[in-house]
Amino acid sequence: MEKKFKFNWGAGAILAVFILLFFVLMGRFFYIAYTKNIENVDLVAYAEKKWTRYQTLDANRGTIYDHRGQPLAEDIPSYTLYAVLDKKFQHIKDPEKTAEQLAPILDREPDEIEETLSKPKRFEVQVPGGRQLSHSKKEKIDKLKIDGLEFKEETKRYYPNQTFAPFVLGYTNETGQNEITGALGLEKTLDKYLKETNGSLSFKSDTKGVKLPDPKEKVKKPKNGSNVYLTLDEKIQLVLEQAMTKADKKYNPEKIIGIVADPKTGKILAMSNRPAFNPNKRDIKDFTNRAISDPYEPGSTMKIFTLAAAIEEGVYNGNETYKSGQYKIPHNRPISDHNKVGWGTITFNEGVQNSSNVLFSKLAREKLGYDRLLNYLKKFGLDKPTGIDLPNEKSGRILYNYEIEKLTTAFGQGTTVTPIQQIQAATAIANGGKMMKPFVIDKVVDPATKKVLLQHKPEVVGNPISAETAKEERDILETVVTKGTGKPYQIKGYSIAGKTGTAQVVDKETGQYAHGWGQNIFSFMGMAPKDDPKLLVYVAVDRPHLKPTELGSYPVADIFTTVMKNSLQYMNIEPKEEKKEKKTVSDSSVKINDYTNKAASAAESELKSSGMKPVTLGSGSEVVSQQPAAGERLLPGERVILRTDGNVQMPDLTGWSLSDVLKFSKMMDLDASVKGTGYAVSQSLKKGSIVKEKDYLTVDFQKPEMPSVNLSDEEESGTSQ
């Protein structure tokens, strides 16, 4: 019997489903093969990425050098420390012990490190304090031989001299992907030259990273940043930094500014401020480069330019005499000299030596005239920025509306200027009348092609005075240092020409000038050697904390003499043997003789005949010591203290100047304290009492009641001007 075929609907359905799935899959396959795309994923690109390996080829940011080729800012290798926590690999086995070993190297607390090393479900973590480690720290960590620690090599910006011209160099920030960008100073303004461009390498490999037989390598070469060469001299800058740091620690002033320039070219050899910062640590309290961005009343350094104008116009006669003390002008209170009473009738040259406000008021009003003076101030560039190649330069303002403002501008008050404006103007005095534009960037060089991309050269920006005027003024300014207010700035073997300044500071709270001991900006502008200056140095110290027996010139002189002497010697400018001084200007000062072992009565008579005021201490008949010492020069009317044997009775100090009180305290070895300014009005030791060594003496000073304008910038009685 023939068997009848029976269709199995269940098997048919299953077969139909498989046939349908086959055609769907085949359709999908042909679709993908044709479009080379799946779910918006480009399969060709995906395969390319899957089999291609990429490596970054690091480039270096350009190096900043001093003018002799010493690196001041450079890229160096650095290391970031990671810890592997996944137990499938070599990992940190004892987080507590590891943290204790790493803490002193990374300068972190062990608990902080241990907490990071104990994080669960983490393959790898960056160790706290482990970024941008130096090679020496890496070696210390390597010696610990701790399993699970790994290093990633990077680069970091490094400043080898630490706190060194930080406001000039600036610093950099890391913006991610180990990319460095300038953030301050030349690092920022020259970023387009210094910035590097990393390269790359790509090749085909298997899943394990092994190159295929035909890896198809593609190389994009890295491009290093260009190198910058500055005019700064590393040695001179280091001397300036060290001297400023020493003064900063000793006197704790509000600020210090120092600039060293080559007056022949305008090159800035050193520049710094306090407060400062270490760009490696970024301990920044103030972002202002006060050498170029802080206009203030300069004080008597401004007299340099008033004097130059008078000499150039032929209205200055150094031997001409005038009555010092006060200068009366219509409808205004008189202007007075810094000691209120002046020095009697003296010559113009003596007025310069004593920094007499009366003299410079007279020069401005009677000799030059206000219009001519203003014209010269503009010729010296004191009305506009210098254009120095540093960021954020500001300009001061010449205050010249009313007659009193015109007079005070002549001796440095009311009008404001920046230190760099004064440096530029003073190059004309030091450089035969040619005023040089200051600059710090010498050149920018491409390290690959050696092509010079940017170069600055010396530029004469004006001829405000003649060479003859410049020479005459340097001769006069030398006597300021040898005979006048600039005595603390003398350097044995070197001829220094310069001018002191003691500017008043406006109190921000009251809007009035600050008063009190040391509440001034003390400064000095000096050049050497006088006949052919190779260096021009400006130093300003703002409101140092002075002891009652210390003068404002102390911190300024400490910095100036250290920097000038060391820099001249470094430049192989040998000191000259001292010769008998040639009189180039009139001088009425008196050289003090040696009176020790001589009869006190005879010494008194001789001093009185010389115009001095002798003060004899003790009951003996012969002089055993004296103040000041033999050889020093004083102006007529100053006190000379003679000591004889026997007990010393306390003199009446009323009317004495600070310098006289200091002479007395030094001679008697007293622990002296002074209050106020001006002249002595009271004393703690009673007149006629027996004075003993180490006695404590307090003297109150008070300014004389005078209806005068004392807009002087000078220290009171016995301080530097």
Q: Which of 558, 681, 626 is nearest to 258 (CA)?
A: 558
**DSSP-assigned letter for residue 90:** S
Q: How far apart are CA 423 and CA 540, in angstroms?
A: 12
Do 202 and 186 lie in one domain? The reply is yes
Q: Do the Cβ atoms of 599 and 622 come closer than 8 Å? A: yes
Place of tokens 């810890």: 83
Provide the CATH number for the domain around residue 92: 3.90.1310.10
How much of the chain exceeds pLDDT 90, in percent?
50
Q: What is the mean pLDDT of residues 473-479?
A: 97
In a domain? residue 547: yes
Chain centroid to Cα 203, Å, comes to: 52
Q: Which of 165, 426, 460, 431 is nearest to 291 (CA)?
A: 165
Q: Are strands 321-323 and 268-274 parallel, antiparallel or unpaired?
A: unpaired
Helix-strand-coil percent breakdown of the chain, rounded to 5?
30, 25, 45
In a domain? residue 6: no
Q: What is the mean pLDDT of residues 172-181?
A: 76
- Residue 544, token pair as written in the block: 């140092």
In a domain? residue 564: yes
Is 134 or 542 the better-scoring residue by pLDDT? 542
Interacting residues of 709 by C-beta distance below 8 A, sequence separation 6+: 332, 333, 334, 335, 336, 404
- Residue 130, token pair as written in the block: 């482990």
Q: At residue 63, what are phi and psi to the nearest 5 degrees?
A: -90, 140
Q: How far apart are CA 403 and CA 407, in angstroms?
A: 6
Do 686 and 664 lie in one domain? The reply is yes
- Residue 58, token pair as written in the block: 């690091």
H helix or E strand, kind and range, residue 182: strand 180-184
Q: Are strands 124-126 and 180-184 parallel, antiparallel or unpaired?
A: unpaired
Q: How far apart are the first and last CA of the chain?
A: 142
Domain boundary among 230, 249, 274: 230
Do 561 and 628 lie in one domain? The reply is no
Question: What's the pLDDT at 505?
Answer: 83
Domain boundary among 197, 230, 263: 230
Question: What's the pLDDT at 586?
Answer: 42
For residue 657, what are the domain limits? 590-634+638-702
Do 73 and 148 lie in one domain? The reply is yes
Q: What is the mean pLDDT of residues 67-82?
A: 89
Question: What's the pLDDT at 648?
Answer: 86
**DSSP-assigned letter for residue 299:** G
In a domain? residue 112: yes
Least confident of 87-96, 324-333, 573-582, 687-696: 573-582
Question: What's the pLDDT at 710?
Answer: 45
How much of the chain exceeds pLDDT 70, in percent?
85
Do 297 and 437 lie in one domain? The reply is yes
10 Å CB burial of residue 400 (0-12, 13-18, 19+) is middle
Q: Are strands 180-184 and 171-174 parallel, antiparallel or unpaired?
A: antiparallel
Question: What's the pLDDT at 709?
Answer: 43
Is the confidence at residue 208, as pLDDT, over 60?
Answer: no
Is the confidence at residue 646, as pLDDT, over 90?
Answer: no
Q: What is the mean pLDDT of residues 303-319?
A: 97
Question: What's the pLDDT at 175?
Answer: 73
H helix or E strand, kind and range, residue 405: helix 403-410
The radius of gyration of the chain's CA atoms, rounded to the nearest angstrom, is 38
Is 693 or 360 the better-scoring residue by pLDDT? 360
Question: What's the pLDDT at 281?
Answer: 86
With b for 16 or more beta-carbon neighbours within 10 A and e for fewer, the 291-314 pattern comes to bbbbbbbbbbbbbbbbbbbbbbbe
**DSSP-assigned letter for residue 296:** B
The catalytically annotated residue of 78, 272, 293, 300 is 300
In a domain? residue 719: no
Q: How crowded is residue 528: how many other Cβ atoms within 10 Å of its Cβ?
A: 26
- Residue 288, token pair as written in the block: 């202002």
Do 306 and 451 lie in one domain? The reply is yes
Q: How far apart are CA 495 and CA 632, in angstroms?
A: 18
pLDDT tens-digit map of 375-386 = 999 999 999 999
Domain boundary among 200, 230, 260: 230
Q: Do the Cβ atoms of 594 and 573 come closer than 8 Å? A: no
Question: What's the pLDDT at 601?
Answer: 86
Per-residue CA distances from 469 to 265, 359, 426, 466, 587 (Å): 20, 19, 13, 5, 20
Q: Do the Cβ atoms of 347 and 589 come closer than 8 Å? A: no
In a domain? residue 117: yes
Instruction: Give the three-class secondary structure for 310.
Output: helix
Q: What is the mean pLDDT of residues 85-104?
A: 88
Residues 637, 641, 643: CA angle, nearest 5 degrees: 155
Do 261 and 402 lie in one domain? The reply is yes
Least confident of 429-438, 504-513, 553-562: 504-513
Q: How crowded is residue 489: how many other Cβ atoms within 10 Å of its Cβ?
A: 26
For the chain, the average pLDDT equals 85
Is 312 or 589 the better-scoring residue by pLDDT? 312
Do 502 and 596 lie in one domain? The reply is no
pLDDT tens-digit map of 487-496 = 999 999 999 9
Q: Do the Cβ atoms of 624 and 596 come closer than 8 Å? A: yes
For the chain, how many residues are written?
Answer: 721
For residue 577, the one-letter residue type is: E
State the pLDDT confidence band at 323, using cuts at 50, 70 and 90. very high
Torsion of CA 568, 572, 576, 582, to 10 degrees: -60
In a domain? residue 442: yes
Do 140 and 249 lie in one domain? The reply is no
Is the confidence at residue 272, as pLDDT, over 50?
Answer: yes
Is the confidence at residue 476, as pLDDT, over 90?
Answer: yes
Do 181 and 325 lie in one domain? The reply is no
Do 226 and 238 lie in one domain? The reply is no
Give the global pTM.
Answer: 0.74
Is 500 or 703 the better-scoring residue by pLDDT? 500
Q: Is the dihedral of CA 398, 404, 410, 414 positive or negative?
A: negative
Q: Which of 495, 507, 518, 502 is nearest to 568 (CA)?
A: 495
Question: What's the pLDDT at 673?
Answer: 67
Active site annotation includes 356: no
Q: How crowded is residue 25: how many other Cβ atoms within 10 Å of its Cβ?
A: 10
**DSSP-assigned letter for residue 213:** S
> Could you give the number of structural domains in the chain?
4
Q: Is the dihedral of CA 241, 245, 247, 248 positive or negative?
A: positive
Instruction: Give the three-class secondary structure for 157.
Output: strand
Q: Do the Cβ atoms of 503 and 298 come closer than 8 Å? A: yes
User: 590 pairs with which residues across the strands?
Assistant: 634
Q: What is the mean pLDDT of residues 9-25?
A: 76
Is 95 or 663 the better-scoring residue by pLDDT? 95
Do 176 and 297 lie in one domain? The reply is no
Q: How far apart are CA 476 and CA 478, in angstroms?
A: 5
Provide the CATH number for the domain around residue 267: 3.40.710.10
In a domain? residue 708: no
Is the confidence at residue 530, as pLDDT, over 80?
Answer: yes
Question: What's the pLDDT at 79?
Answer: 86
State the pLDDT confidence band at 581, using cuts at 50, 70 and 90. very low
Q: Is the dihedral of CA 452, 455, 458, 462 positive or negative?
A: positive
Helix boundaries (H) for 325-386: 348-353, 357-362, 370-379
Is the confidence at residue 635, as pLDDT, over 90?
Answer: no
Most confident of 499-508, 550-559, 684-693: 550-559
Is 117 or 216 the better-scoring residue by pLDDT? 117
Question: What's the pLDDT at 677?
Answer: 60
State the pLDDT confidence band at 54, using cuts at 50, 70 and 90. low
